[in-house]
Every structure is written in C-alpha cells, then in structure tokens.
C-alpha cells in the first residue's frame, strides 16, 4: 500500500478516470451510463495489514517499493485506514516496544475494524507463543478497547474474540454482520453500504426465488432476502458458512437456506449430474424452487464456463465483480442472452487501479 498516494484534493479527478475506464470497457455491450459510488477521500479502509521491521532495538510499520523487499519505508502515519485503526496502531506499537515478549520476532500486524467502532488486532510471529504472551497482552485489550489474536505456526491465541460485529445502515434498516478474522469482508464499509443499497434498488420489483452463488458471510443475502419468497445461497468456505448462519439468525432472516457447495458443484447438482449429501441432509429439493434471479459475486477469476452457462438460465442476473477484466470475459457470453440494464462502479479502493463493479442483466 502506497501511503503517499492518499491525496483528497485529487480524489474526484481520479474517480472520474476510473468511471471513464469502466464506461469504455463495457461500451461494446451497449451498457448504460455508469452509476458511480464514491468513497470517503481518507480513512476509508476497515482492514489493513502491516509488515513490522526490526532495526536494532526499534521496530516500526513498514512498506516496500514494488519488487524490493529489502529496503523498508517507515510508516508514521496512514491516512487510508479507518479512524479507529489510526487511533490505536501507533500507540499500540509503542506499548509492544516496551515488552520483549510481545516484540520479539513479531513480523506483521493485521487490523480489522468496523463502522460500529470495534477493532480486532492480530499479531503474527516467527516463534512459538506461550501462555506468558497472553498474560502480557491482556492489559492492552483493556487499555485500547480491542480484541487481540496472537498467531504463530500452528498456534492461535485469542484474547477475547476472533471476530468483530459490524452494523451497516442501508436505507431505514440496520444490518448486523459477524466478521471473522482472516476471512473475507468488504474493506470499505461506507462503500459496502452503498453496494447493498444499489443491489436492493435494482431488485426492488422482483419476486420468486433467489439463487446466490459465492454468498460469503451472507453480506448481500441478508439485505436482499426480504425481496424474495425464498433464497438458496451457496458458499464453499466453512468459516464463511458458519458466519452466514450466525448473521441470518442475528438479523432474524428465516427464508434462506445456506449450503456449502462450490459454484462448480452446484452447477453439477442443478444439471442432475451428481447428488450431494450436503443438499440431501438439509432436505433441499432444487425442483421446488422457482428461481427468478441469480446473484453472483465470484473471485477475481470470474465465473468458470459451467457456472456462466448456468446463470444464463435465469431471467435476471446480478453480477458483483472485483475484476472488470474477467467480468468483461463473462459478459461476452452473458450478453448473447441478456442485456445490461444497470452498471455501477463502487470505489472500494481509492487511489488504486482497482475497480469494483455491479451489473444488472435481464433476458433479451
């Protein structure tokens, strides 16, 4: 992360460049005007990872120039991280410096914060951790109002929780999310709220049932479930499935089934090529669903060929993409059966080339 690149005076100009790049990328598909959802110009990242550099008796947060891991650049301020992280990170390091049991062979510090004000800090070591570490670190939990995890090879010591509880405001509703350390969450909470509001808007007149692939911790599921008769959501990560079930209960959502399947496996199930015990155990009959809409939020690699063909069966497709290049590849196939009605740019990562997009497609 380039700390020197955060210049709020340049933010709007850089955002417009991104919007124009997205417009040009999807012009060939007859895409409508790009809806642009901006970020806060500073203190927008709720997640951050920092390497620790040791120099004689000192240690500090460090970054490196691309391709050069030998010469560190010391970080003494970080305007991209959330106010909650920034208020703690340097004072916490001052305390770690005082305690050899905390500083010795510490090589990385990870932060996970929330808009609701919670903060989880993970300290990563190149040495075994003993219970002495816990006794020394516990006072810091009370001092800074944080939860702390110590990690080393095959060891994870937790003081007090390994997750945070986020609260996202979308319209007149507030949604609650458990976000677990070391699992995927949206890094920009303000933009995440705008993504959920946009997804609600494009699906506002929908009915029937929703199929969601790559549901994660039920981030979109919870915000959209009330718009559909029932929802079937799939996710391959055990940790994310566990959080999804927690979040559905916390938000009192009772019309969703979550099943641990990859998109490839679910495609095989829909095609009746294989039977899956995980579907049978939950007594899920795919033929009983009346799917009108499919939501996909795939990894950077986009949709595999089989999943792309599967989603073409649905009248409406909501595609959330973290990689516009693979989105474009998928649209070359999807555009044969569907047209783009809405196109959005969500600026999750200001001052970078990263572009998060949303596309709403309807059958031709």
Q: Could you list the active site residues?
A: 322, 356
Per the omega criterion (within 30 degrees of 0), is the bond before 160 cis? yes
Distance CA 210, CA 255 (A): 10
* Ramachandran sector of residue 133 (left: φ over 0; alpha: ψ -120 to 50; beta: rest): alpha
For residue 259, CA distances in Å to 99, 101, 121, 217, 293 come to 45, 43, 30, 12, 18
DSSP 187: S
Picking from 34, 77, 83, the residue whose alpha carbon sits closest to that of residue 189 is 83
Tokens representing 324 are 């516009």
The three-class DSSP label of residue 307 is helix
In sequence order, which residues have a C-beta less than 8 Å from that of residue 284 and are 6 or more positions away?
232, 257, 259
Distance CA 145, CA 117 (A): 10
Q: Are strands 338-346 and 35-37 parallel, antiparallel or unpaired?
A: parallel
DSSP states of 85-130 as a string?
HHHHHHHHHHHHHH-HHHHTTEEEEEEEE-TTS-EEEEEEESS---
């Amino acid at each position: 992360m380039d700390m020197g690149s955060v210049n709020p005076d340049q933010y709007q100009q850089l955002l417009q460049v991104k919007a124009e790049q997205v417009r040009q990328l999807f012009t060939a598909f007859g895409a409508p005007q790009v809806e642009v959802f901006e970020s806060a110009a500073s203190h927008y990242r709720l997640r951050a990872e920092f390497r620790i550099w040791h120099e004689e008796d000192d240690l500090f947060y460090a970054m490196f120039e691309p391709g050069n891991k030998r010469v560190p650049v010391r970080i003494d301020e970080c305007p991209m991280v959330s106010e909650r992280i920034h208020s703690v990170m340097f004072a916490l390091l001052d305390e770690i410096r005082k305690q050899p049991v905390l500083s010795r062979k510490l090589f990385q510090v990870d932060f996970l914060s929330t808009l609701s004000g919670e903060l989880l800090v993970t300290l990563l070591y190149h040495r075994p951790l003993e219970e002495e570490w816990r006794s020394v670190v516990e006072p810091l939990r009370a001092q800074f109002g944080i939860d702390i995890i110590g990690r080393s090879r095959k060891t994870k010591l937790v003081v007090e929780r390994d997750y945070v509880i986020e609260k996202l405001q979308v319209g007149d509703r507030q949604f609650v999310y458990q976000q677990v350390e070391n699992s995927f969450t949206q890094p920009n909470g303000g933009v995440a709220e705008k993504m959920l509001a946009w997804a609600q808007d494009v699906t506002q007149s929908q009915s029937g049932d929703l199929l969601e692939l790559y549901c994660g911790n039920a981030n979109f599921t919870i915000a959209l479930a009330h718009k559909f008769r029932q929802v079937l959501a799939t996710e391959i990560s055990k940790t994310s499935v566990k959080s999804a079930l927690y979040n559905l209960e916390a938000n009192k959502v009772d019309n969703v089934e979550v099943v641990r399947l990859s998109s490839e496996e679910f495609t095989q199930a829909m095609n009746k090529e294989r039977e899956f015990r995980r579907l049978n155990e939950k007594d899920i009959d795919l033929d009983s669903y009346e799917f009108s809409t499919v939501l996909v939020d795939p990894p950077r690699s986009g949709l595999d060929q089989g999943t792309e063909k599967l989603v073409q069966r649905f009248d409406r497709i909501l595609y959330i993409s973290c990689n516009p290049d693979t989105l474009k590849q998928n649209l070359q196939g999807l555009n044969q059966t569907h047209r783009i009605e809405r196109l959005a740019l969500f600026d999750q990562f200001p001052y970078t080339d990263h572009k998060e997009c949303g596309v709403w497609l309807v059958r031709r």
